[in-house]
Structures are given as structure tokens and as C-alpha cells.
A and B are shown apart, each in its own frame.
Chain A
Amino acid sequence: MHTWDDRQPIYQQLADQLAAGLLDGDPAEGHAMPSVRALATLHLLNPLTVNRALQTLGDEGLLENRRGMGFFVNPGARERLRSAERQRFLELEWPRLRERLRRLEISPEQLSWEAK
């Protein structure tokens, strides 16, 4: 019934989950986010927690809170998320991955870019 871990506050986990959706274009830019009530019911969360998650994405400029109409995805939200993710990959994940490739003595030529 619960998919929340102990590493971060629940609202932050929901915000991350919603941001991952936005990165995949769900919902698309310019479109409305699901309502607080719909998200609360779907995830069995307190509506205040859901509101806080949406507010967090609003503060990051990804969503716009239109009074009385709910949250909408801002134009450029995907690109902003993608560039943030890209930076995170290059700063955090790539050094670890590079280290592992070195240790395993895997050269760039051995890496296939074609999906099997």
C-alpha cells in the first residue's frame, strides 16, 4: 500500500516522481497537472502533502499555479528538467561509472550504442 522510503520527506518523493513524469512529457507542457484530490486519492496521500509537492515544483519554475484552476506545466519545463538531469549525471553518476569502467578495463570501443 505504501511505496515511500525513509530517505526523504514524502512530499519530496512525490515531487521527484511527478518530475520524472514531466521529463517523459506526462503531462505535456501547457497541460494541466492532475488535481490535488486525484493525486491524493491515487497515492493515498494527505492532500496537504500533495499540495506541498506541487508547490515545490512550482517554486522550481516547472509548474504554474493558476488560481482556482490548479497547476499547469510551464513551457520549457522538460528542457529544464533534462538539463538538470544531464548535469546530475555528469557530476555524480559519470565519475562513478568511469571509475568502474576503468577498473574493469573496458575501452570506449567495446561499448555498443545500439540497443539490442
Chain B
Amino acid sequence: MNDNLVEAKSLSISYGAKRAVDDVSFNIPKGRVVGLLGHNGAGKSTLMRAMVGLAQGTGGLTVLGLDPCKDRVQLLQNACYIPDVAILPRWARVEELISMMSGLNPNFSAERARQLLKRTSVGLRDKVKTLSKGMMVQAHLALTAAIDARLMILDEPTLGLDVLSRKAFYEMLIDEWCDGERSVLISTHQVEEIESLLSDVLMLNEGKLVLSISLEDMDRRFVALSHDSAVADAMSAAHPLLRYRTGPGPAGNAAIFDGAPPEHVMALGQRVRPNLVDLFVALTRKPELDRTQF
């Protein structure tokens, strides 16, 4: 069987004249944690909505081997989705949500939901409206992770949460969801925080996919050199994707290259780990915000 849970081929999605997603192709294999990164309006939510049949495009898109628009009901038994505007009904008690989910999805396990909720400070008798934002997101993840699915799609799940709630959210995600078979696609603006959780990254810029790579390959392909300001001109001349500051003083300079620069340039700096935030800035910046001029 094909190990790809998602396959997109030349997928474009338009809203009227605006192309929200522009000719993107990528695969999501099983057992991965994929970060979907992009500025506001880059097309992240649209792409996620298309994966669960809420937006239709042209080109090819199969999720779990199904067409999300045609086979939506069947798809949603094996894929779960928390949209960025996720809200649980405020009047409901948590235990009522569990009964409701049991009726809606045959792959939902009420027992597992109760077990997952034990990790949180959310009680079964609690009404949704009495929960803090952090508790509400935890409850939502617990309910979603109780679906025995193969793909989870999370659209900015930690938006507006404090650091402890975000940590608890990610802990539950790794501990209870990632089993080497299931995959999760997660969009966020907290790039720095999520980098170590990811196995792969998809980067969108104005609807176009500017990067689709595993973190392991990213370390190999992109070369970051930390260097002294004295060699800054030589670095610039080698056409880096981006030059940035890593710290105070003349030594706190770095340049990031796509592929290794010539040896004489390599010799001018010290190779460091290219981090996702800098790469994100390098690949999605607008020309008018050219950060090579500092």
C-alpha cells in the first residue's frame, strides 16, 4: 500500500480572482509531524480546508486515498481536523460532547476521550463556557485525539495560549498521537517553538509552496555560516539567501546559503545549524523588507 496519507499534485484553489493556493505539489507520508508555515494570508487555512473537503480546487488532491470533496464522510472517519476558528458549544458539558462525538463518529472512543481528559485539568461535568482558553483547547485535542484516525489537521491550535498551555498541548500531541503511523499537519506562527517537534516542513508564500523538506534534509541542504563582520562583504558577494545577526558584537553575524557556497567562502565562517525561523524569513520575505541591508 502507498504510505502517503496526503498527495497534492498541481493543486490550485481560488476565491474569485484571488489564487489562495497556487500550483502546489507535495506528499505527507505516514508517521510524520509536518509544520505548515506561512504569513497571514499565505493560504495555510485554505489548503487545510481543502484536505477535509471544505474548499475545492483544481489539480489533484487525495487524502487517505480519497477525494476530500466526493468522499468527505468516509474521509472524516479517518482524518480529524481542528479549524482555526474552532469553538466547542459553550452551553455543553464535556461529558455531553463525548456522547455527541460517540454518535457522530464510529471511530471515536468515549473511553479514550475520558482517559485523555485525565491528563488535563478539565472535568467531565465542566461546562465549556467555564473553561479557560487553554483548557478549552486541551479538551478539544483530547476529543479529537480520541478518534482512531490516521491524519490530524490542526490549524493554529495554540493561538492565544500561554506558554504552559502550549507545552501541555504539544506534550499530549506527542505522547498520545504520534505513534509512527499517524501523521499530523499543524500550522502555527510560533515557528521557533515548534521546530524541534517537526519531522517535515511545508512553507507557503502568497499561495506558492516555497519549501517542502524534511528537517533532516534541511540541515544538509542549507548551510548557515556564522562569521565576523570583517568578512561581511565577501559573504554578501556569494549571494546568501539571507544575512542576519545572531548576537552582539562583530562575531554575531551569520549568512544562510541554499547549498554549500564555494570553499573560499566556507573557510570564512563557521558552519552552524540553519534554524527554521531564519529560513522562514529568508524564503518568505517581501523584497521591500530586504534584511540583507542592516
Residues of A within 8 A of B (CB): 1-2, 4-10, 37, 40-41, 43-49, 52
B interface residue count range (under 10 / 10 to 19 / 20 to 34 / 35 or more): 20 to 34
CA distance A48 to B196 in the complex (A): 10
Let me know if B192 is at the binding interface, CB within 8 A. Answer: yes
Pair B273/A37 contact, Cβ less than 8 Å: no
Let me know if B265 is at the binding interface, CB within 8 A. Answer: no
Pair B196/A43 contact, Cβ less than 8 Å: yes
Pair A2/B196 contact, Cβ less than 8 Å: yes
Pair A47/B180 contact, Cβ less than 8 Å: yes
Pair A6/B178 contact, Cβ less than 8 Å: no
CA distance A98 to B195 in the complex (A): 40
Residues from chain B with a CB closer than 8 A to the CB of A48 are 199, 216
CA distance A47 to B195 in the complex (A): 13
Choose among A2, A8, A9, A10 the residue that contacts B192 (Cβ–Cβ < 8 A): A2
Residues from chain B with a CB closer than 8 A to the CB of A8 are 273
Residues from chain B with a CB closer than 8 A to the CB of A7 are 272-273
Chain A's closest residue to B224 (CB) is A6
Let me know if B170 is at the binding interface, CB within 8 A. Answer: yes
Residues from chain A with a CB closer than 8 A to the CB of B226 are 6
Distance between B243 CB and nearest chain A CB, rounded to angstroms: 15
| Known A-B contacts A44-B197, A46-B33; A6 and B246 likewise in contact (beta carbons under 8 Å) | yes
Let me know if B239 is at the binding interface, CB within 8 A. Answer: no
CA distance A101 to B243 in the complex (A): 39
Residues from chain B with a CB closer than 8 A to the CB of A41 are 171, 174-175
Residues of B within 8 A of A (CB): 33, 163, 166-167, 170-171, 174-175, 178, 180, 192-193, 195-199, 215-216, 219, 224, 226, 246, 272-273, 275
Pair B273/A40 contact, Cβ less than 8 Å: no
| Known A-B contacts A37-B175, A44-B170, A44-B174; A6 and B219 likewise in contact (beta carbons under 8 Å) | no
Pair A44/B199 contact, Cβ less than 8 Å: no
CA distance A45 to B216 in the complex (A): 13
Choose among B166, B174, B178, B275 the residue that contacts A1 (Cβ–Cβ < 8 A): B166
Can you list 7 residue pairs at the A/B interface with Cβ under 8 Å? A8-B273, A40-B174, A43-B196, A44-B174, A44-B196, A44-B197, A46-B178
Pair B272/A6 contact, Cβ less than 8 Å: yes
Chain A's closest residue to B33 (CB) is A46
Distance between B163 CB and nearest chain A CB, rounded to angstroms: 6
Residues from chain B with a CB closer than 8 A to the CB of A9 are 219, 273
CA distance A9 to B192 in the complex (A): 15
Distance between B246 CB and nearest chain A CB, rounded to angstroms: 7
Residues from chain B with a CB closer than 8 A to the CB of A6 are 224, 226, 246, 272-273, 275
Residues from chain A with a CB closer than 8 A to the CB of B273 are 5-10
| Known A-B contacts A6-B246, A44-B196, A46-B197; A1 and B272 likewise in contact (beta carbons under 8 Å) | no
Contacts A2-B195, A44-B170 known; list 20 others, CB within 8 Å.
Answer: A1-B166, A1-B167, A1-B193, A2-B192, A2-B196, A6-B272, A6-B273, A8-B273, A37-B174, A37-B175, A40-B174, A43-B196, A44-B167, A44-B174, A44-B197, A45-B174, A46-B198, A46-B199, A46-B215, A52-B216
